[in-house]
Amino acid sequence: MGIKILDVNNPGFKKEFSEILNRGKMDIAEVEGIVREIIEEVKKEGNKALFRHIAKFDKWEPKEDRDLEISKDEMKRAYESLDKDLKKALHLAYDRIKAYHQKQLPKSWLDFEKNGTILGQKVTPVDRAGVYVPGGKAFYPSSLLMNVIPAIVAGVDEIIVTTPVIENKPNELLLAALYICGMPRTFKVGGASAIGAMAYGSETIPKVDVITGPGNIFVATAKKLVFGDVNIDMIAGPSEIGIIADGSAKPKYIAIDLLSQAEHDEMASSILITDSKELADMVVIEIEEFLKELSRSKIARESIEKRGAIIVTNDIEEAISLMNEIAPEHLEIVTQNPFELLPKIKHAGAIFLGENTPEPIGDYIAGPNHTLPTGGTAKFYSPLSVEVFMKKSSIISFSKKAIEEMGRECALLAKTEGLDAHEKSVLERLK
């Protein structure tokens, strides 16, 4: 079957393209009742519910509260026994991610006006953050780094981590990454149970102020349900990549980059838009060749055949317009002069420019965050940043002179809205 090629000039293209635009729609109705029940059990029963859920979903049975927590000694042992090249790679990633996010730090400021008015902004980190790290189909130490490091840079007092540990066998690389991050508290709890525990607390897991981190539809639904009681980063769907390429692109590069997202999940989407029919045809051939080699070829094939597409346009301008409608999580621009196209890109989670910048570079060591908006939400969401772990307070101070200058206008606006106490609050100071 293979990946499908769509031509913008075909009569049925509009319908085919609308299906691509709807790729991120998740039918949560089916799981919402299950997730709501899990969260309610955690709220009412605390650790007792967590024990029951872990036995059911993660195939091991905690006996006492302390069994839920990963010890610092476990993390240290895993780090010390880690292959030196892997250790070096983790430290490189940590340093680059931290350096990038330090540049994002918002500043507190004060503005002094001549009449004695002082206006400003006070930036403060949240007291406690919760990070969810998936651990079902695969382990993602990179997700740990990408979520924990911005919280560290923001200055959060306490960061806790939850992750599912199947059969009570923690992943050694994840343990090593936890040690590098200096995580004092990590809990072996996954899925909606973990989100509920972080949102409302249990005997062992403290309630947090913000929850970040990716997960499956149960995790995403849980985050949606607890939002408002805590803050969340975003509700992320399956991973996706969009590529804009012209005839100068190497078919092998494009093919393997499309597959780099397809291997994540059967629900992932990989979309190439090009003005070169020749490139499109060659990419199809290269995809089939690479699929023979991949360890996750079954997942990648299902993804690429059901949710992948190559769109052939009349020119690159049309390709840009269509990609802006898609608003992909990851966008690669592989053309002769990619930086010339950058000003025309309006919607994308992360933008990768040039043939030597494949999306996996952003997943691991470039520095910018890889927790990105999916399903077209890049039109209004941004990547995870330091600011998710911080909040801003406005600062206002009026002098006697300032309130005399502007008080009557303020009182008039209050009176117009029918708020007498507001009006009098100001007028009392003008007597």
| Torsional class of 194: left (φ above 0), alpha (ψ -120 to 50), beta (otherwise) | alpha
Active-site annotation holder among 101, 264, 330, 347: 330
330 is catalytic: yes
302 is catalytic: no
Query: pLDDT in tens for each of the 431 residues of the chain?
Result: 789 999 999 999 999 999 999 887 766 777 999 999 999 999 999 999 999 999 999 999 999 999 999 999 999 999 999 999 999 999 999 999 999 999 999 999 999 999 999 999 999 999 999 999 998 666 789 999 999 999 999 999 999 999 999 999 999 999 999 999 998 899 999 999 999 999 999 999 999 999 999 998 899 999 999 999 999 999 888 999 999 999 999 999 999 999 999 999 899 999 999 999 999 999 999 999 999 999 999 999 999 999 999 999 999 999 999 999 999 999 999 999 999 999 999 999 999 999 999 999 999 999 999 999 999 999 999 999 999 999 999 999 999 999 999 999 999 999 999 999 999 999 999 99
Active-site annotation holder among 329, 355, 359, 423: 329
Q: Provide the CA 243 distance to its chain's centre, in angstroms.
A: 20
- CATH number for the segment(s) 29-232: 3.40.50.1980
129: Cα within 13 Å, side-chain hemisphere: 28
pTM equals: 0.93
CA distances from 226 to 31, 45, 198, 392, 430 (A): 15, 17, 10, 22, 46
Residue 416 corresponds to which tokens in the numbers above? Answer: 């117009």
Question: 330-334 and 350-353 as β-strands: parallel, antiparallel, unpaired?
Answer: parallel
First to last CA, the chain: 82
Parse the chain into domains and list their residue ranges. Answer: 4-26+237-366, 29-232, 398-430
Fold of 4-26+237-366: Rossmann fold (3.40.50)
